[in-house]
Structure 1
């Protein structure tokens, strides 16, 4: 054990820490003996009273029984909650409270070894180290790490090079850096990233503390700390669309509502998903989130009130604008809350009308729709395995563009209209073989190719699900199947984005 010099007495009488520790160890049995004697005396008294009660001693009445019970409770509480301990001070300054004095000695030896290595010469902790016996709550004992950090603090006052600054977010240590000023600047920069001239408050949503530590396990540069604090902790955040996917199915699989998925993908048409489209499915959540509050004033349009006029020449569900109104304008003052730059709450404080809107007049149909009218949605023309998907493919030894999907079928199986409409082509057309084309009320068209025979003619009105052909392998085909495609404004689109 190293000798530790003490201050506060003449050098001729000064004791080393080693000598002080040896003296304390000699006295420790006296402390322990005193504690045992207290327990023996009080324990004997409690035991005597307890046996009187058990033996039916008439002198042990209710009062004695209650006293005995109370004494037992006190003894059990003392044993459970308290422990013999040592209150440790260095030059009168509290080091901590420990149950085992060896913890202090080991901490000092560790810090002295570190100091010797760091300073290049023998380093010893100096001072008057005192141990005072105490009966202490177990919860009040000082951890070994805190005892060691106390002595590291003494070394730091000499070297000035050991202290590091650890960032703790919601009780979880992220890492530590050497530069405290740089760390504070970094935290302010993370806030400034989301502020503007309208920002009235900015704060971290998480509890952030900077703790001085010594020998941190995860020492970082400021750049590494920035990356760690901005790292996404939500796992995968994107999803790539594959054949057969629907917007609803993707939302359901990721435990999201349709509206939440739409909000994260404002540029995506949910009715026209394409294989290979990349969707955001999880909101980015950094380790350290920033909340800002802005007070803004802006103008927005006031929607036109709508007046409806019945029209018996139009089908139910159809509308036609007779007079288009003009939107109004209003000035709005609002308080908006953002988290990491994304709006989470908007409170409108006041509105001022700048221009009143005028009324839009619309005709609404009242005539009952015929069965052959288009519904606006599609069903599968035939049920089977998809043998070729929309897009590029290799066929007949060469790469080509496939404008629809191929659905396997048995020869002669019924091919049905995907939606109601008018047959605008029914006959043989080159590579399509026997082809049916249906034009729907909204202008879209559906194609059904390679049929063995047709059951409709041009001009026929067909309803959704009505048989229009029988499956075959006419035209440029490698087997019995139905070639099905959807064209919007004359352009082929992926049918899987429209089928249920």
Structure 2
């Protein structure tokens, strides 16, 4: 095309046979080249407009007969060229792995979009992200109005990032700021949380909430994924470490409580079904309250009936000792209907708010006689003091002694030879003498029928039938009977059955 437009003034283009082309033929040649070479035409139209004007003048001056026609034809071509340069722009068709993305005016549009999306992808995924695919560029002419906008290019690559992110997306659960685990589907996570609440919900429950702070966030990783069952197990895991203890030879309830920094009463509360006086090897005791990682608080709205205690009327009786009493007339409990809201944490009641109480049946009065006569010094008090102070060398329950396992019906308290052994409470001596493996033994029967045993004494200071008071010396420590050294063997028997003395001593 430039060859046509750069011919010297005054010379006409010619056919191959030398014949000079007419103005109409020159215009046809120009049109054919415009059709077959848009790129050169655009460049010609943009950069050589002035030469076209000179060509028009040249054609008009060289052939005045055809000048107007030539002028009009070339002017039309010029108009077409100027129209093309105004509506069209040089551009690039962009492909990604042979998939057409669009047409852009500059390759920098694509480069900027890729850089922006890769930065965003790195932030989201937590690792270096690069867009995928081979990007290609082909030069073309495009209507300016049909150029692909920068945000459209960026959206194309963002869609690619979204597909990658969706494949790696996990829903991570944190409790009080500590990550617990992640699952692939939000529905699975919601189901786990609903089940954790649901185990404490009943027909009376009006609210159920998690006590702890739960955060759920998107993470993008192929590692650390859990199944719904694994996540539920993790959220229900106990937070206080080992919560049970298995009884072994020589264990006593008191010793287990002491070893776990608990009081005997606390240990009893955690093991309501255990007979503390008859522990068996292999028994499993709860030694700590189980607190799951994720706790649930519920509120139940309940209506129930409860008894109304009988009022008690006391009548003095001088024939009875102070502290003793007996029922003369037993009253009948009343009944009330109560409306309350009860708060639980992990199924254990923590608060009860009484909203209303309606009496359904009034109680009747209980009449009780109470003693006014002073007790003798030898009367039982109902509490038991230590017969001697010393280290416990053998506890109540199973033990290994003389090379074999045996059941120890009391506790052994270390003592020096001849030390004073005292009555744990007031009562009547019902045995004082030598009795097999006990050696020299004293048995005291107390007013409530409970008996205390004091064995392995070196000598006895009381005799059967004698009444003794609490703290009175009854024997001297020794090592008689089946004994490995000087000590006091002390037993407590209730209804003829040995119980753990540590549960009674104060």
Whether these two folds match at TM > 0.5 is yes
Which of 311, 319, 329 is the equivalent residue of 2:317? 311
Q: Give the match for residue 57 of structure 2.
A: none
Q: Give distance in 2, aligned partners of 1:178 and 1:360.
A: 67
Greater Cα radius of gyration, structure 1 or 2:
2
Cα distance, 1:455 vs. partner?
Answer: 1.0
Q: In 2, are the aligned partners of 1:412 and 1:470 still within 8 Å (CA)?
A: yes
Deviation digits for residues 308-360 of structure 1 (CA, Å, limit 9, x no counterpart):
11111111111111111111111111111222111121111222222111111
Indicate the SS of the match to 2:167.
Answer: coil
- Give the equivalent residue in structure 1 for 2:413: 407
Q: Distance in 2 between matches of 1:264 and 1:401?
A: 25
Q: What's the counterpart of residue 367 of structure 1?
A: 373
Equivalence for 1:457: 463
Name the SS of the counterpart of 1:458 in structure 2.
coil
Instruction: Verify the 8 A CA contact 1:436 1:447 in the aligned structure 2.
Output: yes
Contact kept in structure 1, 2:427 and 2:469, CA below 8 Å: yes
Matching residue within 172, 180, 187 for 1:166: 172
Which residue, 171, 188, 207 being the options, matches 1:182?
A: 188
Q: Aligned with 1:441: secondary structure?
A: coil
**Distance (Å, rounded) in 1 between the aligned partners of 2:231 and 2:222:** 14
SS at match of 1:344: strand
CA offsets per residue over residues 358-411 of structure 1, 9 Å max, x none?
111111111112221112222222233434333334444544333222333333
Within the alignment, does 1:344 sit opposite 2:350 as a pair?
A: yes
Please tell me whether the aligned partners of residues 299 and 330 of structure 1 are also in contact (alpha carbons under 8 angstroms). yes
* Counterpart position of 2:385: 379
CA contact (8 A) 2:95 2:135 kept: no
> Counterpart in 1 of 2:254?
245
Q: 1:230 aligns with which of 233, 236, 240?
A: 236
Aligned to 2:485: 479
The 1:174/1:473 distance shift into structure 2, 3 A limit, reads: closer
Deviation at 1:425, TM superposition (A): 0.9
Q: Note the C-alpha offset of 1:209.
A: 3.7
Residues 5 and 14 in structure 1, CA contact (< 8 A), matched pair in contact too: no
Alpha-carbon distance in 2 for matches of 1:377, 1:113: 77
Maintained 8 Å contact 2:121/2:129: no
- In structure 2, C-alpha distance between the alignment counterparts of 1:413 and 1:301, rounded to whole Å: 53
Partner of residue 389, structure 1: 395
Confirm or deny: 8 A CA contact 2:335 2:363 kept in the other structure.
Answer: yes
Secondary structure, aligned partner of 1:459: coil
2:301 aligned partner:
295
Q: Return the offset for 1:462.
A: 0.7
Given that residues 181 and 226 in structure 2 are in contact (C-alpha distance below 8 angstroms), is that contact kept between their aligned partners in structure 1? yes
- Which residue of structure 1 lines up, in the alignment, with residue 108 of structure 2? 15
Mapped partners of 1:108, 1:497: distance in 2:
63
The residue matched to 1:284 in structure 2 has which SS?
A: coil
Q: Is the 8 A contact 1:246 1:497 kept in 2?
A: no
Matches for 1:106-121 after TM superposition, within 5 Å: 116=132
TM-score, normalised to structure 1, is: 0.67
Equivalents in 1 of 2:210, 2:408: separation in Å?
52
Matched position secondary structure for 1:161: helix
Q: Deviation string for 1:65-113 (max 9, x for gaps)? A: xxxxxxxxxxxxxxxxxxxxxxx9x6xxxx8xxxxxx966965998785
Runs of 5+ in structure 2 lacking a partner? 1-93, 137-147
1:329 is aligned to 335
Q: Deviations over 1:262-294 (max 9, x none)?
A: 654444678x59697765454332222222221
> Does the CA contact (< 8 Å) of 2:168 and 2:222 recur in 1?
no
Distance in 2 (alpha carbons) for counterparts of 1:234 and 1:443: 43
- Aligned 8 A contact 2:126 2:220 in 1: no
Q: TM-score, normalising length from structure 2?
A: 0.67
Q: Secondary structure at the match of 1:185?
A: helix
CA separation of 1:155/1:497 partners in 2, compared to 1, >3 Å: closer, same or farther? same
Q: Return closer, same or farther for 1:192/1:385 CA change in 2, 3 Å cut-off.
A: closer
Structure 1 CA distance for aligned equivalents of residues 296 and 120 of structure 2: 42
Q: How large is the RMSD of aligned CA atoms in angstroms?
A: 3.9
Given that residues 337 and 358 in structure 2 are in contact (C-alpha distance below 8 angstroms), is that contact kept between their aligned partners in structure 1? yes
Greater Cα offset, 389-398 or 316-325: 389-398
Moved more, 166-175 or 331-340: 166-175
Structure 1 position 177, deviation (Å): 0.9
Deviation at 1:196, TM superposition (A): 0.8
CA contact 1:166–1:175 (8 Å) conserved in 2: yes
The secondary structure found in structure 2 opposite 1:383 is coil
Structure 2 vs 1, CA of residues 155 and 450 (structure 1 numbering), >3 Å: closer, same or farther?
same
Alignment partner of 1:499 is 2:505:
yes
Contact kept in structure 1, 2:119 and 2:129, CA below 8 Å: no
